[in-house]
Structure 1
Amino acid sequence: MGTATVAARGDDINDYPTNARVEYVFGCMKANGETRQTIDQCSCSIDVLASLLPYDRYITAETVLSMSQVRGNLGGQFRSSEQANSALNDLRRAQAEAEVRCF
């Protein structure tokens, strides 16, 4: 799935559940400071991310991030899989765009 395809699908399917948005904002605030301005920036960031990346692709990338930290063969499969790397790259591109727009 190319980047343009991901962006087009993300615009059509803004289906991130509220709890996923809240978890993202909490994590973002933990990493960037817990101020009123950071709430706005982190909220903007998840909105941008959701507009660029379908929720199922976001979940895939988050799973890859989590599982790639597991030691041994299981973690290795998540670190070296082409599909896992593709999902992770899509997430990183969306996060970079959110950074530019919101921070």
Structure 2
Amino acid sequence: MMIIMMMLMVSIIMFLVGNMIFVSKHKHLLLVLLSLEFMVLGIFFQMLIMLSFINLDLYFLMVFLVFSVCEGALGLSIMVSMIRTHGNDYFQSFSMLW
């Protein structure tokens, strides 16, 4: 029981650290995408612990991973198209996109 609580605390800390990086590092798009993926990883870890603790099926985790991979691929494609058109991944370049 103590190990499960420690693992839950680690997953919550992972989510909070990802959230802090998301809020503070808003200059580059790549750092924002990496912090979002770190937050998704923390949520995945927490759901894995909770679902295995109450002995439910883990099929929902597979669906969650599929959606998180799609989100990551979409973010990378937006970043690549932004770098090809503007030459950088700064958020200050977003005003030029509109």
TM band (smaller chain): 0.3 to 0.5
- Rg bigger for which structure? 2
